[in-house]
Amino acid sequence: MRSEVQRRQSAADPAVVSERVPTPAPRELAPASDPASVLALQRGVGNRAVGKLLRARAGLRAPRLQRKLTATGDAAGFAAFANRVIAVQQEVVVSGSGEVSLRPTDIQGPPTPEAAELVRVLQLVIADTNNVSIEFIHGLTSTRASDARVLGGSFPQSKVDLDDEEARGTQGAVGVGMGVTGGALLVHEILEQYRKQAFSEDFDTAHAAALTAEGTAIGAPRGASTSRSVNATTDEVTTTYTYPDGRVVEVMWDVTANNISNVRRRVVRPGRGTP
Amino acid sequence: VSDGAARFLSPDEVEWEGNEAGYQPFLSPADERAAAGLGAGDASALVDALADGERFVKAHVGLTRLSGVEYESFPTWNGLELALHADGDVSIDAEQRARLAHRWRQWLSSDPRPDRLPPA
């Protein structure tokens, strides 16, 4: 004979029934003659059994841990650089399996613009259910041919060259308002990979979004950027940044074998109100 | 076709990367050696090759290197429009080759030659 509760479950929205019949903890089980307790026990045992059966059929022993952002390669190097960028309030932690997370610290103080934007982008990527994986390399010492194609990052290879980002420094080191920094470019590369891997965006769309985030981190949009060959092996890249107060900063660097060196900065025009 | 241009315009394709600066072309090792050997006398042959739908991309890359012009890397690569897809595939519309050829002819016929490729 079916009880009143069992009839409701079979006829109505199971979720509604579930609210009306909370599952008690095992040690609090009422006597088996209580229809609600019997139903709860039946559902709890049944759900576990079904879950076990499905996992067995799928060849899984236990539920898989879902990773949102995974750092491979020199994950510790990534965390170290990111934490020099962030510096206050929060820090990046990378687990042994490469899972990236943020946790609060007791180091107080205002974050730089690049720190605030890096934290925002990391929070965005970590909170998304899509998995994003980025390999962090060192272009100066890597002997892999594919790494020689990485300049700052590589869209198709999902790589970031920490040496190239280190070469541009952080706002804590070069100052705020001095054009592009490695922290801003780390923001760029992470967001670009997120857009590619989570939304299958082409380079032009993902790169444009990354440029916007980079501009927020710098405090000024990336302006005209030109390249010219200095000699057979080296190109010189020049990029200008115009800040809201009219300040114009030019940043130049050399690119040899796709590695960045000799970064130079100069204020082309001071901002309004600058003595 | 000059010897230098003929060596450079081998069937090897140009491969493309997307990096922080924008698009970046990569040549095979043999094409890199051939590119290093390009001289001023090869420019006309490379401009002529821009008419060929199979070779215009490489000719454009070679001319950009040979000329030493300043160029942008994004949203175009020195005027070349391309799409780098999320799966790594690259699409380049060959219809743009006439436009590029016109710009390079303008550059080649200018005296003095401009620092940048003339606008379309």
The model's pLDDT over B43-72, given as tens digits with 9 standing for 90+, comes to 999 999 999 999 999 999 999 999 989 888
Q: Say how far apart CA A265 and CA A218 lie, in whole Å.
A: 14
DSSP A28: G
Query: A150 and chain B: CB distance < 8 Å anywhere?
Result: yes
Other Cβ atoms closer than 10 A to A138:
17
C-beta atoms of A155 and B18 within 8 A: yes
Mapping DSSP to helix (H, G, I), strand (E, B) and coil, where does residue B71 land? Answer: strand
Residues of A whose CB is below 8 A from B22: 207, 225
Out of A153, A202, A226, whose CB is closest to B86? A202
At A26, is the secondary structure helix, strand, or coil?
helix
Q: With CB atoms and an 8 Å threshold, state whether B17 touches A154.
A: yes
> Which tokens sit at A181?
């920094």
A36 at interface of B, judged by CB pairs closer than 8 A: no
Q: Say whether A79 sits in a helix, a strand or coil.
A: helix
Q: How far is A172 from chain B (nearest CA, A)?
A: 22
Which helix (H) or strand (E) is A90 found in, with range?
strand A90-94
- Model confidence, pTM: 0.81
A11/B contact by beta carbon, under 8 A: no
Residues of B in contact with A152 (CB under 8 A): 19-21
Q: Say if the Cβ atoms of A154 and B19 lie within 8 Å.
A: yes
**Residue stretches of chain A with pLDDT short of 70:** 1-67, 274-275
Q: Which of B15-19, B49-53, B76-80, B116-120 has the lowest mean pLDDT?
A: B116-120
Quick one: pLDDT at residue A47? 54
Q: Which residue has the higher pLDDT, B11 or A38?
A: B11
Using CA atoms, how far residue B18 sits from A192, A193, A226, in Å, is 10, 11, 16
This complex has an ipTM of 0.92
- Dist. CA B1–CA B37, nearest whole Å: 15
A167 CB near a chain B CB, below 8 Å? no
- Do the beta carbons of residue A264 and residue A252 sit within 8 Å? yes
Contacts of A253 in chain B (CB under 8 A): none
B81, closest residue in chain A (CA to CA)? A204
Nearest to A207 among B26, B74, B87 (CB): B74
DSSP state of B12: P
Q: Closest approach of chain B CAs to the CA of A37, in angstroms?
A: 53
> Which stretches of chain B sit within 8 Å of chain A by CB?
17-24, 26, 36, 65, 68-75, 83-88
CA distances from B111 to A95, B39, B114, B115 (A): 61, 18, 8, 11
Q: Is A238 left (phi over 0), alpha (psi -120 to 50) or beta?
A: beta
- Shortest distance between the Cα of B13 and any Cα of chain A, in A, equals 16
Type of residue numbered B66: L
Nearest to A227 among B20, B73, B83 (CB): B73
Chain centre distance of CA A223: 25
Cα(A192)–Cα(A125) distance, rounded to whole angstroms?
11
Q: Is the peptide bond before B112 cis (omega within 30 degrees of 0)?
A: yes
Residue with tokens 């095979």: B28
Flag whether residue A201 sits within 8 Å of chain B, measured between CB atoms: yes
Flag if B21 and A237 touch (Cβ within 8 Å): yes
Q: What is the pLDDT of residue A228?
A: 78
Residue B93, min C-alpha distance to chain A (Å):
15
* pLDDT at position B106 over 60: yes
List the single range of A41-55, B26-40, B66-80 with lowest mean pLDDT: A41-55
DSSP H helical ranges for A58-201: 75-86, 113-127, 162-168, 171-174, 182-199
Whether the CB of A149 is below 8 Å from some CB of chain B: the reply is: yes
Residues 59-98 of A with CB under 8 A from B: none
d(CA B27, CA A199): 30
Average pLDDT over residues B72-77: 92
Cα distances from B19 to residues A42, A157, A240, B16, B33, in angstroms, run 57, 10, 18, 10, 24
